[in-house]
Amino acid sequence: MGSLQIFSVLFFSLFLAKCCYSKEEYFVQCLSKYSEINITQNIYTPGSPIYSSILEYAQKNPRWLNSSHPNFIASPKEESEIRPVILCSKKTGLQIKIKSGGHDYEGISFRSESPFVMLDLGNLNKIKIDLKEETIWVQTGATLGQLYYAIAKKSKVHAFPAGVCFSVGTGGIISGGGLGALMRKFGLAADNVVDARVMDVNGKILDRKMNEDLFWAIRGGGGASFGVILAWKLKLVRVPEKVTVFTIRRELEGNLTLLRKWENIAHQLPEDLFVRAFVQKGVFSAGNDTKNHVGFYIQGQYIGPVDELIPLLNQYFPEFNLERKDCFKENITADAEKECFEVPWIRSVLYFSWRNPNDSLEVLLEKSIPTHKDYHKGTSDFVKTPIPESGWEMVEKLFREEERPQMVFEPFGGKMYEISESEIPFPHRKGNLYTIQYFVSWDDNSESISSQKIGWIRKLYKEMEPYVAKSPRSAYLNYRDFGLGTNEEDYSYSKAKIWGEKYFKGNFERLAKVKSKVDPKNFFRSEQSVTPYQLSY
């Protein structure tokens, strides 16, 4: 057979392969071509027995449980299995959505308008600690709970500054910034990343030395816009063997002076003291009807023993009336006016996640599917000047209209003010008193109820506009909100900049330029992915 005939046969075979196989069949065949091992055993379709359970676990916010389903779920057990998924998704026109933990307010990691593969990194959760170097390598499928647990098993005097919800995945929270109870002392999670391994759009693994611009972008710029983050190298921080955590509960009515005092000085406190505030229904009922009762509570952590904390609180917040003996009581009720515990750092993690600090540490490793479906919507703001009394009165009025509203206020200052706006993509530094997370949840996910709840939080967000940061009104990427704007079909930079500057301010342009270099054809994309730096795609 002549060379021309051989070429014709090969060409016809490729033509038949593309014409006679579905996109799904061609994807599976492609995986075999690019894999040295059989990775299809970790690829699941809607007909696979465990497909539904993987998807359900992924959706920590189940609002979109039936809105869209991936054509495939890829759950690799080795990093090498990811390269074929990327290459074959490109060849077959499938998008990739990357999930590490699943705490994803808008469902970007597990839903899409286009056919897609959900890349579930949950099996990539290896952790390697070097106490001599005081660093840790963690694969991005590991949760914060797994990370914290591993640190605590190795050391009583080391920690890592990241989020307070331990079921969050390290891949997502660190790439979005990573606010947490230790940030005033040590900065964000992303501020404490010293290296990373990232697989790019061509299946090549890069580290910090190979691409410093990419390393800058993924620490707060949202990693899924640029590639697949495989692992982080993190800098451990030193903490004392005992830290002190406490909560003070009050009714909002009659105690507004205390809340306003908190917002004026929380960012000025010593950096070892982190004191955040919440406003919600039913905090401290005091015999009132919880349906209409609006309360607040103040929750704090001091990086040190109670004997050091009490003098500080007497100096800054004598209104708390917290005494040493309060920190060693047993059988405290859930609505007690005050509570306090002196515990190892790892048990403060349990406390900030609404667990008893004396619970088994194995709780941190839980990966079960919740039986109760909690549908929710969140968004965020940053505050540069204290909210006047009229603003708080508006908040209380709107809270009385809703069943399960919540606002979370987390103070800055300390280390957060020492780092420049451009050090990493997260720009919200000096000048911000605190950040607000708005949150509403509900049990009935019918369209009418969901629309009502989302309408309420939109109303609150609009009413807060006079009191928050402006030009632009800013937001935190990890509390992602499509209401700020989304990419349109052309994925133009000029349109993406409208919402992008709310998350990243002036850093959005640099992020877009990094995107142009590492993913110029915009393969890794979503409704709020960073777009290449050009007028249109």
Active site residues: 479
CB atoms within 10 A of CB 415: 18
**Three-state SS for 101?**
coil
Sheet arrangement for strand 95-99: 43-44, 72-74, 116-120, 95-99
Tokens of 34: 């690019």
CB atoms within 10 A of CB 431: 12
d(CA 264, CA 127): 40
Provide the β-strand partners of residue 342.
244
Please, which residues have CB within 8 angstroms of residue 454's CB and are 6 or more apart in sequence? 377, 440
**Nearest Cα residue to 321 out of 242, 229, 255, 378:** 255
Please, which residues have CB within 8 angstroms of residue 467's CB and are 6 or more apart in sequence? 383, 385, 387, 388, 391
> What DSSP assignment string belongs to 266-292?
GGGS-TTEEEEEEEEETSS-TTS-TTT
**Three-state SS for 135?**
strand
**Nearest Cα residue to 338 out of 246, 229, 235, 232:** 246
**Three-state SS for 314?**
helix
**Nearest Cα residue to 376 out of 26, 38, 64:** 64
Residue 450: what are its φ and ψ, rounded to 5°? -60, -45
